[in-house]
Every structure is written in C-alpha cells, then in structure tokens.
Amino acid sequence: MKKIKIKSRLGEIEIDPQTTIIFERGILGFPDLKKYVLIDLDPSSPLKLLQSLEDETIGFVVTNPIIFKPDYGIKIKRNDLEEIGITNPKQILSLVIVHVPKNPEEMTANLKGPIIINSKLRKGKQLVLDQTDYELKYRLLPKMKKAANDK
C-alpha cells in the first residue's frame, strides 16, 4: 500500500493508511476525532504518539502500562470487547495516556482511562475504570528508576 504524508505534532511524516485505528466514540474530550495512527517516537523508547488524522494538533503520548506497572490488570466488560470486535485476548493492545510536563521527572500516566485496541481489526476504545486502586496521575519516573535499581 502506498504511504501517505500527514502533518503531526512531530512535523510531516509518512504513514501507511492501513494502520489507521478507528475510535467510533473518539477519545475522552475529543468525541468527533475518530481516526488515529500509532507512531513510534523513538525506536528505543516505550513511548508512542497516538496521532489524530483529522486534527494535526491532537496527539496523545501513550505507553504500554505493563512496562511501568507490571501488576497492572484491568477488567474489561464483555460489551466493550464486543464493541471493537475482540474475540481473542491476544488481539488486545492496551495503552495508557502519558502526560509529559516541562519537567520530565513529573511525567504521569492515567491508569484509570486505558485505551484498548483490537490489533487485528484496528478498532479502539478508551475505557473509564471503576477500579479505585489506579491513579489518574501515576508517576512514571520513580517507578522506572526503582525498576532499574532492582535489576
């Protein structure tokens, strides 16, 4: 498939249009933006950019929460799985939105609002968890430093 050029927060980049992920309900706060692509920020970084194809100014830094919180586990309701066509747990790509302030030491992840993506059908949905043991602003760098020191 021919690649297309899009404008993003990273500048102009080429993407394969077949990698588009559809969020039928959008992302919280952006219900009208339905089409996104997942872009590697740096091959060695666990952070990615979930970039809107409909508004070049909208992109969310995301990561796999297991990297920072190995015991992170979410209970996904059957209707949420059905909504994006998941029939096999291996199809699930789970991500969380990361807030990167000016001081990277204060970087946090929203563990209460994970994004699930059907990696086969390329459909996504943001969940709002009832689980009270997860934080809206989970500090990432202290956890990364601890994990590095434990090795």
Give pLDDT tens digits for 41-98: 888 888 999 999 999 899 999 999 999 899 998 888 999 999 999 998 888 999 999 9
Domain that holds residue 70: 4-150
Asked if residue 96 lies in contact with residue 110, where contact means CB atoms within 8 angstroms, the answer is: yes
pTM of the model: 0.86
CATH number at residue 51: 2.30.290.10
Asked if residue 47 lies in contact with residue 59, where contact means CB atoms within 8 angstroms, the answer is: no
Q: Do β-strands 11-15 and 35-40 pair in parallel, antiparallel, or remain unpaired?
A: unpaired
Specify the number of domains making up the chain. Answer: 1
3-state secondary structure (DSSP) of residue 86:
coil
